[in-house]
Structure 1
Amino acid sequence: MPKPVYIFSSGRLSRLANTLVLETEDRKRHLPVEQVSELYLFGEVDLNKRFLEFAAQKGILLHFFNRFGYYVGSFYPREHLLSGYLTLRQAQHYLDANRRLNLARRFVEGGLENIRRLLRKEEAKGKRVSDALDTIGEILSQVKGAQHVGELMALEGRARESYYAVWDELLGEEWSLERNRRPPKDPVNALVSFGNTLLYTAILAQIYQTHLDPRIGFLHEANYRRHSLNLDVAEVFKPVLVDRMIFRLIRRGQIKTGHFLREGQGVFLSEAGKRLVVEEWENSLQATYRHLSLKRSVSYRTTLRLELYKLEKHLIEENPYIPYRFR
């Protein structure tokens, strides 16, 4: 089964027959095309139009990141699965204020409910998070009565502020967090930003395999963004995939202060740090659990795809969208 390939080295990407070739200073790496679903390019990589044509023909997505690990953009083949009917339905749900609010509310509820379930697990381990649980529970009750998307965003922001405030309790003072975005000011912010970026691109890759248009979201404005639907779906999965991964890396002692670099006003993961996080990220996506409805084991990468299928059914008014719940 094709898998994502993460490239941190600098070099040149080319095609040789039915193989992708990464040539660096010290070696050539051959990647059989049938084994590659996506390329995550963190290093300084050269490629040409012939290579992009080959990637497009084989349905391989390329995701580009700068040296700080910030997402730059993606190359993906012409949207061969896009459905005119579903795109119209997606646009109708965005333009209709009530329909958009309904979906936006579901994304916020899904994300906050998963945060609450994660904190309950931590409380069962003896962590003092009751105040945060009370606050998030109160905000969840207000989400149902929100009258517009801006109000939902404000409520979600307040809940996350309360959630991040207990990370010192969850991880220890050495890994304190005062949430900020660009540039991240401390190692935990750097982990959150990098982890969220990996989630956004993983969901984008799954959207490409559906009939959905990534440019039309509901919670996040669609007007001036390249992609917004992946940001919506990510709200549901940040606690489940990104935050739990960060907790594991820190609690197991895998990630250390030496994995971070200070440059200018920001703190960023070193190359070794990014490699470590990416390895744990792939382990997270490949991990399986028993799906209650399907009655079989599925991976979390498959779960992202299933979430998008549920959204498709909502848009064509077959089944209301119910966000994934962390068990």
Structure 2
Amino acid sequence: MKRSFYLFNPGLMERKDNTLKFTPISIDEQGNETKQPSRFIPIEDVAVLYAFGSLKANSSLYNFLGQRDVPVHFFDYYENYTGSFMPRAGLLSGKALLAQAKTYQSSKKRVELARKFIQGAAWNMVMNLNYYNRRGKELEGQIAEMKEFAQTLPEAKTVEEVMGTEGNIRRIYYSAFDIVLDDFKFGSRTKQPPENEVNALVSFGNMMCYTETLRAIHQTQLNPTISFLHKPGERRYSLCLDISEIFKPIIVDRVIFKVLNKHVLQKSHFDWKLNSCLLNDKGKKIFVAAMEERYNETFRHRSLGRNVSYRHLIKLECYKLLKDILGIEEYKPFKMYW
């Protein structure tokens, strides 16, 4: 089975015959580079590459990755997503592209889809808090406030109003983190840079969810640059932001609660530099492993009547959206029911 590979160390990636050869490079304080023993990665095992360290490569490698439909996602030192190498889309459809653009240009349809994305996200956030409320965390107040704001979504007439309601819901939701978490404090949401451990995990996890959503979109006929909730812009895959809103509570937040409350991640797994807090290399590996475990976890899907993984669930959401855009079936966001 193909899987994700995470490259945390700087190194050289090459094509060697019909496989990948990765040579880690260590750099001392004077900037001198030393090559470490190489590792061979069978291309048949690779679904996607995540590069967190400096990656040296040439066009021959990217031609090979493109032929094998393997994307590469890049992150900077501060764990921010900076871009991707995406193979040529194999499911191009002029009909789907025109329908997606037409849907965006219809203010009524765009607002309708934007509302649905936030309705799904709000529902899943409430379900997260319900889960911990049943375990004695006393979250009734936050749950009631979030439901009250969510009930106003059908009245939103513009995307800006939808985004405003989403901001209120998420503000209340994040305020509940300090109750859910036992030993860590979230405080307010800070992004660039994150100012504490929980903010660091939220930012890192959201970026992972964003790139996984991009991968799912790439496997459909959707165009990742045409979005409905977030404003399309230059050099960004804004549709990933739309769809990932639904899955951040289900995947990212559940993983954060688990690794912190079960002490899988501790303060020693974070580094503080220049008023910023980031996962160190060991912490990244632990969190990535927990995210991969969540992606591969399966549950019984009510509509399909079979078990599906959370990774496959994101792809199913993309197909549901595509069906709505093509006028086949109305889109209904995934809502967690446990």
- The answer as to 2:111 corresponding to 1:101 is yes
User: Could you tell me which residue of structure 2 aligns to residue 14 of structure 1?
Assistant: 14
- The answer as to 2:91 corresponding to 1:81 is yes
Task: Report the CA distance between 1:226 and its aligned residue.
Answer: 1.5
User: Could you tell me which residue of structure 2 aligns to residue 166 of structure 1?
Assistant: 176
User: Could you tell me which residue of structure 2 aligns to residue 70 of structure 1?
Assistant: 80
Task: Report the CA distance between 1:265 and its aligned residue.
Answer: 2.6
Q: Identity over aligned residues, as a percent?
A: 37
- The answer as to 2:61 corresponding to 1:51 is yes
TM-score with structure 2 setting the length = 0.95
The answer as to whether partners of 1:8 and 1:42 remain within 8 angstroms in 2 is: yes
Task: Report the CA distance between 1:82 and its aligned residue.
Answer: 2.1
User: Could you tell me which residue of structure 1 aligns to residue 251 of structure 2?
Assistant: 241
Of 115-124 and 95-104, deviating more is: 115-124
The answer as to whether partners of 1:82 and 1:211 remain within 8 angstroms in 2 is: yes
CA–CA distance in structure 1, aligned partners of residues 186 and 218 of structure 2: 37
Aligned residue for 2:151, secondary structure, equals helix
Task: Report the CA distance between 1:173 and its aligned residue.
Answer: 5.6
- The answer as to 2:267 corresponding to 1:257 is yes
The answer as to whether partners of 2:186 and 2:199 remain within 8 angstroms in 1 is: no
TM-score with structure 1 setting the length = 0.98
Of 307-316 and 76-85, deviating more is: 76-85
Residue-by-residue CA offset, 1:227-254 (whole Å, 9 max, x unaligned) = 1111001110111000000000011101
CA–CA distance in structure 1, aligned partners of residues 23 and 209 of structure 2: 28
Aligned residue for 1:54, secondary structure, equals helix
User: Could you tell me which residue of structure 2 aligns to residue 3 of structure 1?
Assistant: 3
Aligned residue for 2:321, secondary structure, equals helix
CA–CA distance in structure 2, aligned partners of residues 172 and 95 of structure 1: 46
Aligned residue for 1:313, secondary structure, equals helix
CA–CA distance in structure 2, aligned partners of residues 143 and 181 of structure 1: 26
Task: Report the CA distance between 1:168 and its aligned residue.
Answer: 1.1
Task: Report the CA distance between 1:319 and its aligned residue.
Answer: 0.9
Q: Which runs of 5+ in 1 are unaligned?
A: none
The counterpart of 1:141, out of the listed 146, 151, 163, is 151
Amino acid at match of 1:13: M
Residue-by-residue CA offset, 1:139-159 (whole Å, 9 max, x unaligned) = 111111001000110110011
Aligned residue for 1:164, secondary structure, equals helix
User: Could you tell me which residue of structure 2 aligns to residue 31 of structure 1?
Assistant: 41
For 1:257-276, what aligned pairs fall within 5 Å after superposition? 257-276=267-286
CA–CA distance in structure 1, aligned partners of residues 186 and 334 of structure 2: 29
CA–CA distance in structure 1, aligned partners of residues 314 and 186 of structure 2: 30
Moved over 4 A (4+): none
The answer as to whether partners of 2:184 and 2:198 remain within 8 angstroms in 1 is: no
Amino acid at match of 1:233: I
Task: Report the CA distance between 1:167 and its aligned residue.
Answer: 1.1
The answer as to whether partners of 2:153 and 2:165 remain within 8 angstroms in 1 is: yes
Q: Which runs of 5+ in 2 are unaligned?
A: 25-34
CA–CA distance in structure 1, aligned partners of residues 23 and 76 of structure 2: 19
Amino acid at match of 1:207: I
Residue-by-residue CA offset, 1:12-56 (whole Å, 9 max, x unaligned) = 000011101101232211111111111000111100011111111
User: Could you tell me which residue of structure 2 aligns to residue 325 of structure 1?
Assistant: 335
Residue-by-residue CA offset, 1:32-87 (whole Å, 9 max, x unaligned) = 11111110001111000111111111111000111221111000112221211001
Aligned residue for 1:320, secondary structure, equals coil
- What's the C-alpha RMSD, in Å, of the aligned pairs? 1.0
Of 186-195 and 289-298, deviating more is: 289-298
The counterpart of 1:217, out of the listed 227, 243, 248, is 227
CA–CA distance in structure 1, aligned partners of residues 77 and 232 of structure 2: 27
Residue-by-residue CA offset, 1:264-309 (whole Å, 9 max, x unaligned) = 1311111111111100000000001111122111111110110101
CA–CA distance in structure 1, aligned partners of residues 56 and 293 of structure 2: 28
> How many equivalent residue pairs?
327
Residue-by-residue CA offset, 1:158-204 (whole Å, 9 max, x unaligned) = 11111111111111363333212111111100000000000000000
